[in-house]
Amino acid sequence: MNIVLANDGLAQSGIELLQKEGFEVITTRVAQEQLVNFINTNSISVLLVRSATEVRKDLINACPRLQLIGRGGVGMDNIDVDYAKSKGVHVINTPEASSASVAELVFAHMFNGARFLHDSNRNMPLDGDSQFKQLKKSYASGTELRGKTLGIIGFGRIGEATAGVALSLGMKVLFHDHHTEKATVKLSFYDGQEVQFKLQNSSLETVLKNADFVSIHVPSQNGYVIGKKELAQMKPTAGIINASRGGILDEVALVEALDNDKLAFAGLDVYESEPQPEIKILMHPKISLSPHIGASTQEAQQRIGLELAQQVIKLLK
């Protein structure tokens, strides 16, 4: 019998499908330093993780029974993928399951920034009863998203899903991507109607100069994709959102741009020094914050669980 360890949890939909196909599923959270011993002692053949568990060369070498490593989500920077494959271990992920969830969180941050909700939610409990009129005046210069331009950097599945939300709100979309020249974004509505939009790749400079909002959707990189030079190309009235990876956006340059009114606001779901973001970021009045929850919706987790289970069954049965 194949035994599965879902070390960072697995949705019930995935557990039930695996059990139905004869797999034993363990959802005990095992500490990183005890993982090798647990895997070997319990004859684990499938290790499923999210972002919390690291699967490096030493673990792969020490656990010869492992046949498959699965990542619930898109990015696999916590797994030594090529090394695992070189040892004959299957490596899978779920690139499509969380796209809609991340896209919606991007817009949660965008609406926050456009109407100062992140800041008013901090200040209303403190001063709402004594300084209501002053706060009303402070937050009265918000903007609408309709008619504005969203620039998307990285046009994979999540970038495309983000474009879909923008188009449905009546925004114009520009994108920059190293691998995609043209894209067709299909919007499906509740009543079965569909609308298609054809988009063309633009240079990074064009996207940054013309966008009212910029959303970053690129995999983990060596070095910044958006640094001081790139931020300087953006409109001073623009906002930037990063819900992809920490270390993609230069946070020192970001704070400097916000402090000097070279940028209007930022929305961050990921951080350079995660899981201990810098205090300057956490306390900044122009930054909307969330703790790396882009893929963390009930619906996405159910889809991730099912998609992982289906791939495991296909590969090992």
Query: Which residues are part of the catalytic machinery?
Result: 245, 274, 292
Kindly list the strands in the beta sheet with 90-93, ordered across the sheet, starting from the edge strand earlier in the chain: 24-26, 3-6, 46-49, 68-71, 90-93
User: In this structure, how many other beta carbons lie within 10 angstroms of the beta carbon of residue 54?
Assistant: 14
What the block records as the tokens of 12 is: 């019930």
Taking the C-alpha atoms of residue 307 and residue 76, their distance in angstroms, rounded to an integer, is 16
User: In this structure, how many other beta carbons lie within 10 angstroms of the beta carbon of residue 257?
Assistant: 22
Is the four-CA dihedral 231, 235, 236, 242 of positive or negative sign? negative
Taking the C-alpha atoms of residue 212 and residue 264, their distance in angstroms, rounded to an integer, is 10
Give, in order, the Cα–Cα distances in Å from 248 to each of 99, 116, 197, 223: 19, 24, 28, 7
Is the four-CA dihedral 271, 97, 71, 25 of positive or negative sign? positive
**H-helix segments, the chain:** 12-20, 35-41, 57-62, 81-86, 99-115, 117-127, 132-138, 157-168, 204-210, 228-233, 251-259, 279-282, 298-316
Taking the C-alpha atoms of residue 314 and residue 317, their distance in angstroms, rounded to an integer, is 6
Is the four-CA dihedral 266, 270, 273, 278 of positive or negative sign? positive
Query: Half-sphere exposure of 106 toward its Cβ, with a 13 Å CA cutoff?
Result: 31
Q: What is the DSSP string of 91-124?
A: EEE-TTTTHHHHHHHHHHHHHHHHHTHHHHHHHH
